[in-house]
Amino acid sequence: MKLKQILGIDIGGSGVKGAIVDTKNGKLLTERYRIPTPQPATPDAVAEVIKKIVNHFDWDGPIGVGYPGVIQHGIARTAANLDKSWIDKDLNKLFAKTTKCKVHVVNDADAAGMGEMKFGSGKGFKGVVLLVTVGTGLGTVAFTSGKLVPNMEMGHILLHGNDAEKYASDAARKADNISWTEWAGRFNEYLNRMEDLLWPDLIIIGGGASKKDEKFIPLLKTRATVIPASLLNEAGIIGAAMASKYYNKLD
């Protein structure tokens, strides 16, 4: 199978986005194509949207998909901010059936991390890197010598007795209607806990909030250096394509 070009797709809370990625240099070969996430976002409804994206690009090659929950060998195991009907669905199979293409589905933070480590802010960094995606939830992934352990799910550690992402995600900032400064304080608490558990050398902030990095990164007090992700909006798509390339080679 040719893996120079892969269709990367990112399933998000508000939109499902895709583009064809050149896996040699991580550049998008097409414009991003975005379709609003259907409501309710059931597996079948999202599969139809993915099919529309595939048809839009007239695509019949390999596909990588980033999904906002735990994915074990193509099977969804959690759905923190999605319809619970995703749990235990074999998404590699479901999306392959609707698109007639070879599909690899991975956790969205794992995908974003793979993109950033290969082509973005973490490129060439060999130490321990923690990447946190800040959006509807808190996605986490850690790398050492460029290798990751999948599905870390550290966005759900307890902070003040509650799920951390309900306190320190971008959605929590909006829901609680707090200033960036107040939110930065919450996020700082979260990062300090993560530092005590993982001792990263470098922390990369991705997800929607990475576009607003100047509003909170200068306020953070951490041991490790904190930098924004550099692939921004495209990290999920590029990373999903890179994850597909990686898993295609293992098959």
Nearer to ligand BGC, 37 or 133 (CB): 133
What tokens does 146 get? 């460029």
Residues sharing a CB contact under 8 Å with residue 80, sequence separation 6 or more, in sequence order? 68, 69, 137, 156, 165
Nearer to ligand BGC, 86 or 247 (CB): 86
Q: How far is the CB of 63 from ligand BGC (least distance, A)?
A: 19
What is the Cβ-side half-sphere exposure of residue 216, based on CA atoms within 13 angstroms? Answer: 26
Q: How far is the CB of 162 from ligand BGC (least distance, A)?
A: 13
Location of structure tokens 């929950």: 69
Q: What is the DSSP string of 188-238?
A: HHHHHHHHHHH--SEEEEESGGGGGGGGTGGG---SSEEEE-SSGGGHHHH
Residues sharing a CB contact under 8 Å with residue 85, sequence separation 6 or more, in sequence order? 42, 43, 79
Q: What is the DSSP string of 96-135?
A: HHHHSS-EEEEEHHHHHHHHHHHHSTTTT--S-EEEEEES
* Residues binding ligand BGC (CB under 6 A): 68-70, 78, 80-81, 107-109, 133, 137, 139, 153, 155, 165
Nearer to ligand BGC, 18 or 155 (CB): 155
Q: How far is the CB of 155 from ligand BGC (least distance, A)?
A: 5
Q: How far is the CB of 55 from ligand BGC (least distance, A)?
A: 26
- Closest-by-Cβ residue to ligand BGC is 137
Run of H or E including 28: strand 27-28
Run of H or E including 48: helix 43-56
Residues sharing a CB contact under 8 Å with residue 53, sequence separation 6 or more, in sequence order? 7, 9, 16, 18, 33, 35
Q: How far is the CB of 156 from ligand BGC (least distance, A)?
A: 6
Q: How far is the CB of 3 from ligand BGC (least distance, A)?
A: 24
Nearer to ligand BGC, 59 or 68 (CB): 68
Spatial CA neighbour of 153 closest among 78, 238, 225:
78
Q: How far is the CB of 116 from ligand BGC (least distance, A)?
A: 14
Nearer to ligand BGC, 102 or 107 (CB): 107
Nearer to ligand BGC, 26 or 155 (CB): 155
Nearer to ligand BGC, 108 or 116 (CB): 108
